C-alpha cells in the first residue's frame, strides 16, 4: 500500500512526509483554496458586522465550530490525471516531486519469474501533460521491492540493479538520483557500500526522507556488507551511509531493547529474549512485505516508517509495537504498549506534527511522541467506501485527508467527502497517494471489480497498474 513509493507487487503507498514538500505556482488546487479562503472571510465578516450592528460583542473564545461546508477540504472536486504514455507494467517507482508526478521503471505484468524490466518513465505536470524521462545511467532498473523518495531537489530510486541480473534472486544494488527540473540522472556512491536487492518475493524496503537524510529499513539485510536486518541513514548528496541501531528489525535471539535511548526497562524486561523478539514488521517503500514465518529475523510482516519532527516512528503491521528513532543519536526506544492492536493497523497511521494518528475503523487512537501517551479518538461515522482508498490518510497541515473522508484533530471530528470517480464495484489496490501541498494525488495501482458478496477483493498478481489517477482539489 501505501508514501512515495512503488506500486504493484513492490507495494505502493506512499506514506509521504517531508518528501512531498516543494513550492510551485503550478500546484493543483491553489486557486481553488484561495477562493475558498476568500469566501470564508467574506462570510465571517458579514456575520461579525451583523452582530456588531445589533450591539452584540463577539466573544471569540465561544466562536462556534466551523460549519460542515466550510471544513478544510470539504466541497472539493476530483480532477483526472490522464493515462501515462507507458507500456503496461507493475512495480513502478512513483512519487510527487514538488510540483509534478514522477513515474519510473517497473516490469512486465506477467505474474511469472523473469518478467522484463523497464528503464523508461514519464513526468506529469498539473497542466495535464506527460513528458518522457531521460534514460538512466547504464540502463539501470528498479529492483523489486524498491522505493522512490523526493528529497526536495531530486528523486531517489533504489535499489537499482543491472537489467542483466536475475531480478528474482537476491543481489546488490545502488542508488540513483533523478532531477525532474533538468531531466538528468546521477549515480549516488553509497560510501563504498551496496544496498541488498531481494528477489521478486522478498520484503520491500521501508523508506522515508526526513532531516535531510534517507532512512531505510529492511527485515533481511539493508546493505550487502552488513548482511543483517536493520536501519541505515544515507546522505543523498554525497552518499555517506551510517548504520543505526536495528530497533524493531533486531533479529530473533538478540535483545529487542538494544539501543533504547532513555535507559528505562523495556516491556517484559528480564523475560526470555525470544519472547521480546517474536514479532516485528517492515514498511515497504510503499508497502508490500513478506509475512515470513520463522524466527531468524525479527520483523514478521511489515514495518511502516513514519517521519515526524526530529524523529522517525516505526509501526508494526499488527499494531503490537511502536518504536521511536531519534535522528541525532540513531537510537530507538519502544513506546508504551498501544491500547489496541489488529492486523494491518499500521496502514492507517499518519503523523500530525508531534502526534501519530491511528485512524482505523473501530478504535482510532492518537500517540503523543514526546509524552509517550496514547488517547482514544472519535471513530469515523461510517465505514470506508469499498474503493479501497479510505485508509490512505495524508496530513495536510489542517486535517488527515483520505479519499472520501477527513479527520480533524483540533476538535476530534470527521467529515465525509466525495470519493474518487470509480465505477460501481471498482477497487484500486495499493495506489500511490500523496498530499501535494494543495491537493490529494491518487495514482496507479491495479484496478479490479469486486463482487458484492465477496469478503475480500484483490486484483490478481498479473493485473497491470492503472497508469492514471486523479487529484482532489478542495
Integer Cα distance of 257 and 250 in angstroms? 9
CB count in 10 Å sphere of residue 407: 24
At 14-35, the pLDDT tens digits run 434 444 433 333 445 554 444 4
- Are 287 and 264 in contact, with CB atoms under 8 Å apart? no
Q: Give strand ranges (E) for 97-169.
A: 101-104, 121-124, 130-132, 141-150, 155-161
At 77-112, the pLDDT tens digits run 999 999 999 999 999 999 999 999 999 999 998 877
DSSP per-residue letters across 264-301 = PPPTTTTS-GGGGSS------SSB------SSSSS--S
**3-class SS shares of the chain: helix, strand, coil, % to 5:** 10, 35, 55
Statement: residue 171 has pLDDT above 60:
yes
- Are 429 and 458 in contact, with CB atoms under 8 Å apart? yes
DSSP per-residue letters across 166-218 = -TTS-EEEEEEEEETTTTEEEEE--TT--EEE--TTSPPPEEEEETTEEEEEE
At 312-344, the pLDDT tens digits run 999 988 778 899 999 888 899 999 988 888 766
Structural element, H or E, at residue 33: helix 30-53
Record the pTM.
Answer: 0.78
Grid cell digits, residue 221: 539485510
Q: In this predicted structure, what is the pLDDT of residue 260?
A: 42
Q: Once rounded to an integer, what is the mean pLDDT over residues 210-219? A: 93
Grid cell digits, residue 135: 534514460
Q: What is the mean pLDDT of the chain?
A: 77
At 277-301, the pLDDT tens digits run 222 232 333 333 333 333 344 444 5
Q: What is the DSSP letter of 98?
A: S
Phi (first) and psi of residue 179, to 5 degrees: -100, 105
Work out the pLDDT band at 233, boundaries 50, 70, 90: very high
Structural element, H or E, at residue 306: strand 303-308
Grid cell digits, residue 68: 460542515
Amino acid at each position: 500500500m501505501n508514501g512515495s513509493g512503488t506500486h504493484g507487487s513492490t507495494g505502493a503507498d506512499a506514506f509521504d512526509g517531508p518528501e512531498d514538500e516543494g513550492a510551485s505556482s503550478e500546484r493543483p488546487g491553489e486557486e481553488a483554496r484561495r477562493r475558498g479562503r476568500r469566501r470564508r472571510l467574506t462570510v465571517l465578516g458579514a456575520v461579525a458586522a451583523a452582530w456588531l450592528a445589533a450591539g452584540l460583542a463577539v466573544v471569540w473564545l465561544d466562536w462556534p465550530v466551523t460549519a460542515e461546508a466550510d471544513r478544510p477540504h470539504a466541497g472539493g472536486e476530483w480532477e483526472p490525471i490522464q493515462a501515462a504514455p507507458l507500456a503496461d507494467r507493475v512495480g513502478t517507482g512513483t512519487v510527487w516531486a514538488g510540483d509534478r508526478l514522477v513515474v519510473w521503471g517497473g516490469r512486465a505484468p506477467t505474474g511469472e519469474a523473469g518478467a522484463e524490466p523497464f528503464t523508461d518513465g514519464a513526468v506529469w505536470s498539473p497542466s495535464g501533460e506527460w513528458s518522457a524521462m531521460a534514460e538512466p545511467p547504464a540502463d539501470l532498473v528498479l529492483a523489486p521491492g524498491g522505493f522512490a523518495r523526493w528529497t526536495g531537489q531530486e528523486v531517489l530510486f533504489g535499489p537499482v540493479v543491472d537489467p542483466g541480473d536475475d531480478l528474482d534472486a537476491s543481489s546488490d544494488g545502488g542508488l540513483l538520483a533523478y532531477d525532474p527540473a533538468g531531466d538528468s540522472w546521477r549515480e549516488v556512491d553509497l560510501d563504498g557500500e551496496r544496498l541488498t536487492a531481494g528477489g521478486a518475493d522478498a520484503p520491500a524496503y521501508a523508506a522515508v526522507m526526513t532531516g535531510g537524510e534517507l532512512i531505510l529499513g529492511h527485515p533481511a539485510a539493508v546493505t550487502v556488507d552488513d548482511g543483517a536486518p536493520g536501519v541505515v541513514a544515507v546522505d543523498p548528496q554525497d552518499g555517506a551511509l551510517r548504520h543505526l541501531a536495528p530497533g524493531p528489525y533486531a533479529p530473533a535471539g538478540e535483545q529487542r531493547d538494544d539501543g533504547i535511548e532513555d535507559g528505562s526497562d523495556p516491556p517484559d524486561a528480564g523475560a526470555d529474549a525470544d519472547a521480546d523478539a517474536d514479532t516485528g514488521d517492515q514498511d515497504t517503500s510503499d508497502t508490500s512485505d513478506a509475512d515470513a514465518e520463522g524466527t531468524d529475523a525479527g520483523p514478521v510482516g511489515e514495518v511502516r516508517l513514519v517521519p515526524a519532527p526530529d524523529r522517525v516512528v516505526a509501526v508494526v503491521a499488527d499494531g503490537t509495537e511502536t518504536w521511536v528513532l531519534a535522528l541525532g543519536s540513531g537510537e530507538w526506544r519502544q513506546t508504551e504498549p498501544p491500547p489496541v492492536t489488529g492486523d494491518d493497523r499500521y496502514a492507517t497511521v499518519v503523523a500530525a506534527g508531534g502526534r501519530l494518528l491511528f485512524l482505523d475503523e473501530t478504535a482510532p487512537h492518537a500517540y503523543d511522541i514526546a509524552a509517550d501517551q496514547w488517547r482514544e479518538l472519535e471513530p469515523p461515522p461510517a465505514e470506508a467506501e469499498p474503493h479501497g482508498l479510505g485508509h490512505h490518510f495524508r496530513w495536510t497541515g489542517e486535517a488527515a485527508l483520505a479519499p472520501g473522508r477527513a479527520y480533524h484533530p483540533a476538535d476530534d471530528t470527521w467529515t465525509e467527502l466525495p470519493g474518487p470517480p470509480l465505477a460501481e464495484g471498482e477497487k484500486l489496490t495499493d495506489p500511490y497517494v500523496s498530499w501535494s501541498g494543495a491537493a490529494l494525488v491518487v495514482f496507479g495501482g491495479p484496478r479490479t471489480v469486486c463482487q458484492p458478496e465477496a469478503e475480500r477483493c484483490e486484483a490478481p498478481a498479473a493485473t497491470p497498474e492503472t497508469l492514471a489517477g486523479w487529484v482532489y482539489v478542495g
